[in-house]
């Protein structure tokens, strides 16, 4: 984005020329997602292209995000006790098995690290509704075999083939002991869940129809599943049923964030609701942003197959959505990579930064940098830095006028900086400061965020992750004066499908565009 584009000051933000849905096809349009969880529940992204009349349903989207920031961050900081107990138990078994086999300490450490990684990847440390060692056994064996394969390859490459037999014995002993330990742990946990309601997760059900009420009845009959129902949300007038057991807490889902806070909800189950599909999607995003786990009853659930992302509540499959990407261990890696890469880039690009600064001074004088308030994570204001590419504008012009690439106030130097994206380089300091990430939705000015949130479905949901130097929208041609609805859809697709590889892909595509001179 540029500093400003009009010499006429106005209090009303000038709209971009194309702020509706674009008819031009773009690579990577959010089709049904490939992951099992999102494939069965992309209620979420398929609805994104069909905004309801009037744009966002949330009159206070900023308040929704602020509440999510406070509640979600607290929940992200906490560790699930079951996960901690399971990891500690496995580590103790590793120590015991290593002592029995008398395996070299370095090999014990290597094998333990491989085991923990394999078990984490296969979801063995994820909280499950069903506590059954038999159900977990295929993945337990798979993680052990994978670890044995990598460990065997390592000892052969090290030329220590004599360690192969004790390593195999160590893993076999670990498999038996860890399974026995889990049998004992699960038996104790089931007893506690039956006896102590506070040990169960406070659960809100979206949809008070037959399926929703059957699920609540199953939660009540089988507390060992770990879910404690606190209420329904359903706008259907006939869905109230018997209010004595589990009440319908809310009919208007636009106040969902208040209910989540008031009732300390930890899990949200999406059953068949009378609400329109797009509204259910918004509710899922709000719940996930609050740090709640989200379980969805898939359509045609009688035909749903078991899988690592599929739970079962007394015969009804529930798809666990991967919703809060910022709580994943990979997000910690992303943050470390952001800061490290930005620091290295500042050092390596110091000559370029100096030359660009000098060019700006020679071309149009001081100041070199342009500072502007933008909206970042959880709708919080941040100050974004850029090299100045246009003549100085008034603060009001800068904040309220939409930029276009053909602005008459762009100098030849400024046009070159825009085309090559060199004007964005000072945002490396925003990344070092923690305001931005290398990859994420591009930040926008507050006046436009307010307008777009009002006019465009799910625009507010872009602010669930930090804003970025580049993003999925930009590498798909959505920069400058392009469709805002498409940008929101692409940005939310990025959040729903985030991975370290997707970030790497976006960075590579960005470098390709910069080398082609496709900025601006």
How big is the chain by its Cα radius of gyration, in Å?
A: 26
pTM for the model:
0.74
pLDDT of residue 32: 34
Residue 69 has pLDDT above 50, yes or no: yes
CB 424 within 8 A of CB 469: yes
Domain co-membership, 349 together with 456: yes
Residue 40, Cβ neighbours under 10 Å: how many? 24
More confident residue, 416 or 76: 416
Lowest mean pLDDT among 125-134, 388-397, 485-494: 388-397
Residue-range definition of the domain harbouring residue 297 = 61-78+200-324
pLDDT of residue 4: 40
Domain co-membership, 215 together with 303: yes
Strands (E), 104-241: 201-206, 227-233
Q: Which residues sit opposite 203 in a β-bridge?
A: 229, 267
Q: Which of 284, 300, 324 is the last residue of a domain?
A: 324
pLDDT of residue 426: 96
Give the C-alpha separation, 72 to 208, whole Å: 26
Of the pLDDT bands very low, low, confident and very high (cuts 50, 70, 90), residue 403 is: low
Give the C-alpha separation, 315 to 319, whole Å: 13
DSSP 40-61: HHTHHHHGGGSPPTTS-S-TTH
Structural domain count of the chain: 3
- Asked if residue 24 belongs to a domain, the reply is no
State pLDDT tens for residues 274-311: 677 778 888 888 888 888 889 998 877 666 666 667 88
Domain co-membership, 430 together with 460: yes
- Asked if residue 27 belongs to a domain, the reply is no
CB 284 within 8 A of CB 294: yes
Residue 24 has pLDDT above 50, yes or no: no
Give the C-alpha separation, 128 to 312, whole Å: 9
Secondary structure letter of residue 410 according to DSSP: B
Check which CATH number belongs to the domain holding 316 and give it. 3.40.50.720
Secondary structure letter of residue 226 according to DSSP: -
Give the C-alpha separation, 76 to 67, whole Å: 14
Domain co-membership, 394 together with 499: yes
Domain co-membership, 234 together with 307: yes
286: alpha, beta or left, given left = phi > 0 and alpha = psi -120 to 50? alpha
- Close Cβ partners of 364 (under 8 Å, ≥ 6 residues apart): 388, 391, 411, 413, 414
Phi, psi for 237 (deg, rounded to 5): -65, -25
pLDDT of residue 126: 81
Of the pLDDT bands very low, low, confident and very high (cuts 50, 70, 90), residue 517 is: low
pLDDT of residue 149: 87
Region 421-431: what's the mean pLDDT? Answer: 94
Q: Which residues sit opposite 296 in a β-bridge?
A: 270, 319
Domain co-membership, 186 together with 239: no
Q: Which residues sit opposite 384 in a β-bridge?
A: 372
In the numeric block, which tokens belong to residue 104?
């070299």
Residue 373 has pLDDT above 90, yes or no: yes
Region 333-354: what's the mean pLDDT? Answer: 95
Residue 429 has pLDDT above 60, yes or no: yes
Domain co-membership, 238 together with 171: no
Residue 81, Cβ neighbours under 10 Å: how many? 11
- Asked if residue 33 belongs to a domain, the reply is no
Chain mean pLDDT for the chain: 79
Q: Is 469 helix (H, G, I), strand (E, B) or coil?
A: strand
Residue 78 has pLDDT above 60, yes or no: no
CB 387 within 8 A of CB 370: yes
Q: Which of 324, 357, 380 is the last residue of a domain?
A: 324
- Asked if residue 12 belongs to a domain, the reply is no
In the numeric block, which tokens belong to residue 190?
């089931």
- Give how far Cα 271 sits from Cα of 228, 254, 447, 480, Å: 16, 18, 37, 40
- Asked if residue 51 belongs to a domain, the reply is no
pLDDT of residue 398: 52
Residue 143 has pLDDT above 80, yes or no: yes
- Asked if residue 46 belongs to a domain, the reply is no
pLDDT of residue 515: 81
Domain co-membership, 367 together with 393: yes
Give the C-alpha separation, 444 to 376, whole Å: 8
Domain co-membership, 106 together with 191: yes
Q: Which of 324, 340, 372 is the last residue of a domain?
A: 324
State pLDDT tens for residues 213-268: 999 999 999 998 889 999 998 876 455 555 556 788 876 667 888 888 889 999 99
Q: Is 312 helix (H, G, I), strand (E, B) or coil?
A: strand
- Asked if residue 421 belongs to a domain, the reply is yes
- Asked if residue 34 belongs to a domain, the reply is no
Domain co-membership, 176 together with 251: no
Q: Locate tokens 């941040």: which residue?
A: 382
pLDDT of residue 6: 35
Domain co-membership, 279 together with 379: no
Domain co-membership, 291 together with 335: no
CB 202 within 8 A of CB 216: no
Count Cβ atoms within 10 A of the Cβ of residue 463 and give its class: 0-12 exposed, 13-18 middle, 19 or more buried. buried
Neighbour-count burial for 124-163, b at 16+ CB within 10 Å, e otherwise: bbbbbbebebeebeebbeebbebbbeebbebbeeeeeeeb
In the numeric block, which tokens belong to residue 157?
């490459």
């Amino acid at each position: 984005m540029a500093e400003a584009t009009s010499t006429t000051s106005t209090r009303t933000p000038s709209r971009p020329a194309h702020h509706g849905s674009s008819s031009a096809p773009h690579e990577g349009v959010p089709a049904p997602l490939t992951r099992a969880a999102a494939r069965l529940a992309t209620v979420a992204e398929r609805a994104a292209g069909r905004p309801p009349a009037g744009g966002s349903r949330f009159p206070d989207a900023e308040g929704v995000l602020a509440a999510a920031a406070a509640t979600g961050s607290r929940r992200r900081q906490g560790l699930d006790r079951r996960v901690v107990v399971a990891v500690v138990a496995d580590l103790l078994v590793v120590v015991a098995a290593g002592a029995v086999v008398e395996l070299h300490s370095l090999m014990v450490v290597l094998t333990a690290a491989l085991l923990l990684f394999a078990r984490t990847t296969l979801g063995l440390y994820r909280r499950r509704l069903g506590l059954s060692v038999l159900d977990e056994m295929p993945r337990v064996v798979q993680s052990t075999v994978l670890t044995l394969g990598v460990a065997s390859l390592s000892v052969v490459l090290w030329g220590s083939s004599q360690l192969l037999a004790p390593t195999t014995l160590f893993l076999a002993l670990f498999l038996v002991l860890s399974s026995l330990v889990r049998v004992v742990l699960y038996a104790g946990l089931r007893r506690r869940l039956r006896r102590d309601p506070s040990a169960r997760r406070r659960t809100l059900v979206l949809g008070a129809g037959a399926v929703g009420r059957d699920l609540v009845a199953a939660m009540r009959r089988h507390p060992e599943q770990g879910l404690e129902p606190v209420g329904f949300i359903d706008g259907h007038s006939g869905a109230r049923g018997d209010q004595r057991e589990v009440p319908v807490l809310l009919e208007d889902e636009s106040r969902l964030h208040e209910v989540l806070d008031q009732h300390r909800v930890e899990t949200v189950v999406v059953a068949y609701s009378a609400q329109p599909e797009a509204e259910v999607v918004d509710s899922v995003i709000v719940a996930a942003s609050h740090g709640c786990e989200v379980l969805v009853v898939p359509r045609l659930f009688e035909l749903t197959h078991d899988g690592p992302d599929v739970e079962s509540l007394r015969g009804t499959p529930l798809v666990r959505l991967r919703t809060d990407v910022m709580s994943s261990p990979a997000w910690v890696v992303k943050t470390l990579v952001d800061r490290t890469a930005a620091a290295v880039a500042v050092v390596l690009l110091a000559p370029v930064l100096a030359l660009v600064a000098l060019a700006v001074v020679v071309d149009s004088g001081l100041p070199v940098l342009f500072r502007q308030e933008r909206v970042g994570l959880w709708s919080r204001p941040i100050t974004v830095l850029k090299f100045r590419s246009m003549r100085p504008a008034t603060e009001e012009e800068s904040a309220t006028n939409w930029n276009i690439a053909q602005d008459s106030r762009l100098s030849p130097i400024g046009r070159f900086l825009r085309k090559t994206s060199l004007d964005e380089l000072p945002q490396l300091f925003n990344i070092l400061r923690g305001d931005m990430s290398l990859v994420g939705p591009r930040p926008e000015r507050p006046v436009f965020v307010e307008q777009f949130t009002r006019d465009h479905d799910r625009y507010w949901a872009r602010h669930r992750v930090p804003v970025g130097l580049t993003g999925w929208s930009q590498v798909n041609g959505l920069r400058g004066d392009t469709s805002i609805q498409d940008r929101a859809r692409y940005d939310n697709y990025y959040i729903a499908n985030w991975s370290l590889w997707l970030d790497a892909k976006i960075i590579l595509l960005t470098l390709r565009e910069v080398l082609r001179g496709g900025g601006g």
